[in-house]
Amino acid sequence: MTSKAGATCGATCGALIALSALLVGGCFQEDLPEENLEGTVVVPSTIAGDSRDIGLVYLGVYEGYDDQQLGYPYPTTGPRVGDNPIGDALPYGGTSVGSYTYACFQALRCNILTGRYIDLQSILEAHPVEHADGESVEVEELYDQCQWYYGWNSIEEFSFIGAEQLDFEANDDGDWEATFNVIHSRLPHGSRIWAFVDSDFTSCTEDDGSINRRRSEDGLFFREGTNFADVLNFPDKYITPGDLLSSDPATVVDGERSGYRVVVDHVKE
């Protein structure tokens, strides 16, 4: 006689055996249309003499490109809807080179990017911080504050500095070059890869991002800051004078998923 428990176990074990056989037999092919895309983004050294001057790079795969609708390089858009200043650019997917990071002092919120600074000194050179009494924050104090805030025990743990973490390197032409990866995106033949550089941190909001990990003695609550969620859909909302735009977007070709080169060479007036 087979018990109820034995019958249940038999059914369960049979299902597990069948699943194991499927896994051993090979991977399940979903045939999804999304793919990955790789390439490099280039910022001419004549525009940025120092890689620390390169703001957050936003890069998207768009249906088309039109350098006439706004008077400067920009993706084609859908119709304007509601309060939006321009139609949705409708990206298939996108990525960024670097990301906003919280560098331990509120004065640096929405000002520091990953992949731009070799050490703490280079951060303070580019973005000096002063106390209320006018005294400048020194490297040792920034180090101590980051240790306290994040709980890091050594300089190797600092996630936004270090030579091995720099995004941009000088290429053979002396221009700044970084790799990009667009993950799990639709990549139609003929779509355009367009990028812009937010040079003045307009795309960052101090009202969002992670909650401060350690509150100060007065219990102050704040957000660490992060990019707005709609930057790739409505780049024009965040493009301001001095930002850089790609005047000759790359074109996606069937079967080619690497080797693309996008030059960000137009300075918005």
Which tens digits make up the pLDDT trace of 223-259? Answer: 999 999 999 999 999 999 999 999 999 999 999 999 9
**Amino acid letter, 208:** D
Average of per-residue pLDDT values in the chain: 89
Q: What is the mean pLDDT of residues 144-151?
A: 94
CA gap 69, 250 in Å, rounded: 19
pLDDT computed for residue 4 by the predictor: 42
What pLDDT, on a 0 to 100 scale, did the predictor assign at position 83? Answer: 75
**Residue 142, pLDDT above cutoff 50:** yes
Give the containing element (helix H, strand E) for 36: strand 35-43
Return the biggest CA–CA distance within the chain.
Answer: 87
Which among 69, 48, 64 is positioned nearest to 236, based on CA atoms?
69
Is the predicted pLDDT of residue 35 greater than 90, yes or no?
Answer: yes
User: Residue 80: its pLDDT value, please?
Assistant: 81
| Per-residue pLDDT band at 22 (split at 50, 70, 90) | very low
Q: Percentages helix, strand, coil for the chain, rounded to the nearest 5?
A: 20, 25, 55
pTM above the 0.75 mark?
A: yes
Q: Which residues, in sequence order, are bridge partners of residue 266?
A: 245
Using CA atoms, how far apart are residues 129 and 95, in angstroms rounded to an integer? 30
Question: How far apart are alpha carbons 186 and 77 in whole angstroms?
Answer: 17
Would you state the pLDDT for residue 252? 98
Predicted confidence band of residue 103 (pLDDT cuts 50, 70, 90): very high
Phi, psi of 194, rounded to the nearest 5 degrees: -120, 145
Per-residue model confidence (pLDDT) at position 29: 58
Query: What 3-state DSSP class applies to 143?
Result: helix
For residue 188, what pLDDT band results from cuts at 50, 70 and 90?
very high
